[in-house]
């Protein structure tokens, strides 16, 4: 029965794996929002009689904290007319900034500009694999027709506004205007130029450049400069962007895969318990039979010996009685025979009354079950959590990767939740975690370590939440309201677990990125 359960669990896992591999990747809407943090309005600014006004605008996106990609045609006027300058207006906040052109490539309509002020942006991740011939995509930018529909005036252009997001599908790849482009149906308009075309995980597939004029009669198509053009352009200008070559997977897929894995693990555990119970039953039956046979043999042997001793005692008693009755009794013979008779009878009685009873069977069965079993029949035992240095390797099958993660990490773990002798982890309901709210990046990381022994061993998980400026500010305020207790502080783990709740309550339900690592003790 145990084997049947395990077989069905294994088959279910295999079937899910086949379906999982064949299923289309689904993106997360939150990833598009996260990418939009680094999308900006690129404004060409003129000045006349001391009055500043927007000449035109397009869209751009961050490939570094101070470097922005846009279309060459968006900033071309600035290069041609020194009286014009570039303004960068972010999606959130009041902090706009000037920028200077770094490189223009009219051949493939790409440009790189650098922020000259204090504004810093969250760089977007670029898809390392070329876009396929199909799939859902999103265009993010600042179309002018939306500005007009909202009634925005010239002053409003310089104020932070969230970019417009539109969805469509890839219609194919084709070279156009002497450079490689992606044909898609995500609507863009004048003002979208230079904005990113994103996959479902918020990674850049291309730079929106121009559209096909349909004259209002046919379906509209749009063109984006592909990453085959973008990546060489950036590297030629000493920009090393964030690149991700992993397939785009949804958290729903990961959660389902994790559910199947847990069910498979539980089925294996039940099978192990069933197998262990069967082994125990067989051992008990064998011990019961052996105990019954050995007790019966011991009883028979004791009774037989007692009978022999009794006969010896009776015989010796008769000899002693005869020696006493005979004329001229032999005192020595009487004493020897009498002694033998008494000793034999006493030994016979002792054997009779001390022979094993039926309750001895239970005692012998219990003793047999308490003896160590051979490893081949003993049930598996879960590995206890251990202190020491753990080496953790990124598990691609259980991770959702939207950035450029570290593939291996190492740390020292103590049973009280202290990492590397300096970083205390919090403990809530048996889970070890530590929240990190950096000042230099708009992302909150929740690190979790599970030292518990299961079929996959210890694991380390990082959930990353890519937040906008407002949400990040709230998280930093909540984090600043407490001081994490240091290692060795009494009850540090439980106290920190309670403190971190003020930050975790502000986080979305799902992270943008989940990194799962398999961990092993060094030397194992």
- pLDDT, tens digit (0-9, with 9 covering 90-100), for 463-488: 999 998 889 999 999 999 999 999 99
Please, are residues 169 and 135 in contact by the beta-carbon 8 Å criterion? Answer: yes
In the structure, what pLDDT confidence band is assigned to residue 381 with cuts at 50, 70 and 90?
very low
Instruction: For the beta carbon of residue 470, count every other beta carbon within 10 angstroms.
Output: 10
Tokens of 155: 């002053």
Crossing angle of helices 359-369 and 251-325, rounded to 10°: 140
Between β-strands 85-89 and 39-48, what pairing exists: parallel, antiparallel or unpaired? Answer: antiparallel
Structure-model confidence comparison of residues 198 and 220, the more confident one: 198
**C-alpha separations of 92 from 89, 121, 312 in Å:** 8, 10, 111
Is 80 exceeded by the pLDDT of residue 183?
yes
According to the model, what pLDDT value does residue 272 have? 75
In the structure, what pLDDT confidence band is assigned to residue 16 with cuts at 50, 70 and 90?
very low
Is 50 exceeded by the pLDDT of residue 454?
yes
Scored b (16 or more CB within 10 A) or e, 26-62 reads: ebbebbbbbbbbbbbbbbbbeeeeeeeebebbbbbbb
In the structure, what pLDDT confidence band is assigned to residue 27 with cuts at 50, 70 and 90?
very low
Is 50 exceeded by the pLDDT of residue 6?
no
Q: Give the mean pLDDT of 89-116.
A: 93
Q: Give the mean pLDDT of 232-244.
A: 94
According to the model, what pLDDT value does residue 455 have? 52
Structure-model confidence comparison of residues 278 and 164, the more confident one: 164
The rounded percent of the chain whose pLDDT value lies above 70 is 86
- Which range among 265-279, 318-332, 446-460 has the greatest average pLDDT? 446-460
According to the model, what pLDDT value does residue 342 have? 86
Handedness of CA 370, 372, 374, 380 (dihedral sign): positive
Distance of CA 39 to the CA centre of its chain: 29
According to the model, what pLDDT value does residue 88 have? 96
Is 60 exceeded by the pLDDT of residue 254?
yes
According to the model, what pLDDT value does residue 524 have? 56
Handedness of CA 249, 255, 258, 259 (dihedral sign): negative
Mean pLDDT of the chain: 84
According to the model, what pLDDT value does residue 338 have? 82
Helix, strand, coil percentages for the chain (3-state, nearest 5): 40, 30, 35
Instruction: For the beta carbon of residue 80, count every other beta carbon within 10 angstroms.
Output: 8
According to the model, what pLDDT value does residue 2 have? 41
According to the model, what pLDDT value does residue 456 have? 59
In the structure, what pLDDT confidence band is assigned to residue 373 with cuts at 50, 70 and 90?
low
According to the model, what pLDDT value does residue 175 have? 66
CA–CA dist 512, 28 (Å, integer): 8
**C-alpha separations of 336 from 306, 317, 318, 344 in Å:** 21, 10, 12, 12
Handedness of CA 198, 202, 205, 209 (dihedral sign): positive
According to the model, what pLDDT value does residue 105 have? 96
CA–CA dist 200, 198 (Å, integer): 7
Handedness of CA 454, 455, 460, 461 (dihedral sign): negative
Looking up tokens 């417009």, which residue turns up? 164
The residues, ordered by sequence, that sit 6+ positions from 258 with a Cβ below 8 Å of its Cβ are: 398
- Any idea which of 12-26, 107-121, 130-144 has the lowest mean pLDDT? 12-26
H helices within 241-357, ranges in order? 251-325, 331-354
- Any idea which of 121-135, 366-380, 403-417, 491-505 has the lowest mean pLDDT? 366-380
Q: Give the mean pLDDT of 123-131.
A: 85
According to the model, what pLDDT value does residue 176 have? 61
- Name the nearest CA neighbour of 243 among 209, 208, 201: 201
Candidate CATH numbers 3.40.50.11440, 2.60.40.10, 2.40.10.120, 1.20.1530.20; the one for domain 27-248: 2.40.10.120
- Any idea which of 73-82, 208-217, 233-242 has the lowest mean pLDDT? 208-217
DSSP secondary structure string, 84-134?
-EEEEE-SSSS--EEEEEEEEEGGGTEEEEEE-SS----PPEEESSPP-S-
Structure-model confidence comparison of residues 16 and 157, the more confident one: 157
- How many helices (H) and strands (E) would you count in the chain? 12, 23
User: What pTM did the predictor assign?
Assistant: 0.68
CA–CA dist 195, 6 (Å, integer): 52
According to the model, what pLDDT value does residue 231 have? 96
Enter the DSSP assignment of 397.
G
Is 50 exceeded by the pLDDT of residue 25?
no
CA–CA dist 34, 147 (Å, integer): 22
The residues, ordered by sequence, that sit 6+ positions from 444 with a Cβ below 8 Å of its Cβ are: 435, 436, 437, 464, 465, 467, 472, 475, 503, 507
Upper half-sphere CA count for residue 395 (Cβ side, 13 Å): 19
Crossing angle of helices 2-22 and 251-325, rounded to 10°: 170
Q: Give the mean pLDDT of 232-238.
A: 97
According to the model, what pLDDT value does residue 440 have? 85
Handedness of CA 29, 464, 470, 482 (dihedral sign): positive
CA–CA dist 127, 474 (Å, integer): 30
């Amino acid at each position: 029965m145990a084997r049947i359960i395990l077989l069905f669990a294994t088959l279910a896992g295999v079937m899910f794996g086949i379906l999982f591999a064949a299923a289309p990747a689904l993106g997360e809407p939150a990833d598009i929002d996260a990418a939009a943090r680094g999308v900006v309005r690129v404004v060409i600014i003129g000045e006349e009689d001391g009055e500043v006004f927007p000449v035109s605008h397009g869209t751009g996106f961050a490939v570094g904290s101070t470097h922005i990609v846009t279309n060459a045609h968006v900033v071309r006027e600035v290069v041609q007319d020194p009286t014009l300058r570039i303004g960068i207006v972010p999606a959130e906040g009041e902090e706009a900034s000037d920028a200077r052109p770094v490189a223009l490539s009219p051949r493939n309509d790409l440009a790189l500009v650098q922020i000259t002020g204090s504004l810093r942006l969250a760089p977007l991740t670029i898809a390392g694999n070329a876009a396929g011939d199909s799939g859902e995509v999103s265009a993010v930018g600042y179309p002018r027709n939306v500005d007009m529909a909202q009634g925005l005036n010239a002053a409003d252009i310089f104020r932070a506004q969230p970019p417009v997001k539109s969805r469509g599908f890839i219609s194919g790849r084709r070279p156009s205007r002497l450079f490689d482009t992606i044909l898609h149906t995500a609507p863009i308009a004048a003002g979208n130029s230079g904005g990113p075309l994103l996959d479902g995980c918020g990674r850049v597939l291309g730079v929106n450049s121009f559209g096909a004029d349909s004259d209002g009669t046919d379906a509209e198509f749009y063109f984006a400069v592909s990453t085959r053009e973008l990546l060489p352009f950036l590297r030629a200008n000493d920009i090393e962007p964030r690149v991700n070559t992993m397939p785009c997977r949804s958290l729903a897929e990961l959660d389902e895969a994790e559910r199947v894995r847990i069910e498979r693990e539980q089925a294996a555990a039940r099978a192990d318990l069933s197998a262990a119970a069967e082994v125990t039953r067989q051992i008990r039956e064998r011990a019961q039979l052996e105990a019954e046979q050995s007790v019966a043999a011991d009883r028979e042997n004791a009774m037989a010996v007692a009978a022999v001793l009794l006969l010896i005692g009776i015989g010796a008693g008769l000899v002693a009685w005869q020696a006493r009755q005979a004329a001229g009794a032999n005192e020595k013979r009487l004493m020897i025979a009498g002694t033998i008779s008494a000793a034999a009878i006493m030994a016979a009685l002792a054997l009779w009354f001390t022979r094993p009873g039926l309750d001895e069977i239970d005692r012998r069965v219990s003793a047999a079950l308490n003896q160590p079993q051979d490893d081949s029949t003993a049930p598996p035992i879960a590995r206890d959590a251990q202190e020491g240095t753990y080496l953790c390797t990124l598990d691609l099958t259980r991770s959702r990767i939207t950035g450029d993660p570290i593939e291996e990490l190492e740390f020292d773990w103590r049973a009280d939740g202290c990492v590397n002798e300096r970083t205390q982890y919090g403990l809530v309901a048996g889970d070890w975690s530590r929240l990190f709210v950096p000042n230099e990046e708009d992302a909150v990381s929740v690190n979790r370590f599970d030292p518990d022994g299961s079929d996959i061993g210890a694991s380390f998980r990082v959930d990353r939440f890519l937040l906008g400026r407002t949400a990040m500010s709230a998280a930093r305020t909540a984090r600043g309201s407490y001081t994490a207790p240091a290692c060795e502080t009494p009850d540090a783990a439980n106290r920190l677990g309670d403190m971190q709740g003020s930050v975790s309550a502000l986080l979305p339900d799902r992270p943008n990125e989940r990194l799962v690592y398999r961990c092993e003790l060094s030397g194992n």
